[in-house]
Amino acid sequence: MYGGYSVIYKNEDCQQYKLLPIRRPNIPAPTRRIKETFIPGRSGALIEDEETWEPIVIPVEFNFIGKADEWASIYRNAKKWLLTETGHLTFSDDWNYFYKVLYCKITDTERTSRRIGKFNAEFTCDPYTYMMNGLQEISLGEKIFNCGEVSLPVYKITGNGGCTLTVNGKAMKATVGQNLTINTELMIAYRTDGTLQNGKVTGDYEDLYLLEGENQISITKGFDLKVIPNWRCI
């Protein structure tokens, strides 16, 4: 564990890369996607709510200090960390929540002295804030309570043969060969070895979303079910 305020990205602390955030970033509120239609001769506008949200951009200012002959190496390592692949973004004063990064951009570094540099990073993220406890598997009970927004869970089924997974009265039928994972966010089904099994399920992935409040879940007797709820909020 490193000291002071820190930024954690892809499960790596920025201080591992000799980077320090200059200040705590401002976390923007997401913007609702609204379509406005203006009609000549009529005041106001016709509003169509698309019921979705725009991505958010979280700016982080980093600085770093090192020996003069290490300066370029620190910046190269920082670029590799930030610009290759994506992952979860967490802040050390808000450990229980994270953001899903879509992509990251950084500015050219400014060398303020022989040993000190700084640059800005912009993390473009999914508009939702996700809860860490939403990544934990939940064993099936009759009811699961969602205290956040509608969530897109992952269902893990163990057993053999045909079964029916029912969520809030809506069903998806599946043929399971030892194990089957249903990912409602990616809208795919697969085995633990990664083999796609989309042809083994029948039904709508959207029907398996966990709604705000109480959710009732059941599965055919003889099958085991675990849920990764992916709790989230705005």
The radius of gyration of the chain from alpha carbons, rounded to an integer in Å, stands at 23
Res 112: pLDDT: 82
Gap between the Cα atoms of 78 and 26, Å rounded: 21
User: Is the Cβ–Cβ distance between 154 and 183 less than 8 Å?
Assistant: yes
Res 47: pLDDT: 82
With b for 16 or more beta-carbon neighbours within 10 A and e for fewer, the 24-49 pattern comes to ebeeeebeeeeeeeeeeeeeeeeeee
Name, in order, each residue with C-beta under 8 angstroms of 36's C-beta and a sequence gap of 6 or more: 45, 46, 47, 48
Gap between the Cα atoms of 102 and 87, Å rounded: 8
Res 3: pLDDT: 61
Gap between the Cα atoms of 183 and 155, Å rounded: 7
Q: Token digits for 82? A: 């930030």
List, for the chain, all residue ranges whose pLDDT scores fall below the cut of 50.
1
For a pLDDT cut of 70, what percent of the chain falls above it?
Answer: 98
Q: Is the domain covering 7-127 a CATH 2.40.30.200 domain?
A: yes
Res 75: pLDDT: 93
Alpha carbons within 13 angstroms on the beta-carbon side of residue 217 total 27
Res 142: pLDDT: 66
Report DSSP state, residue 75. Answer: H
User: Is the Cβ–Cβ distance between 180 and 191 less than 8 Å?
Assistant: yes
Numbered ranges of CATH 2.40.30.200 in the chain: 7-127
Query: What element of type H or E holds 162?
Result: strand 154-167
Fold of 132-233: Jelly Rolls (2.60.120)
Res 221: pLDDT: 95
Res 31: pLDDT: 94
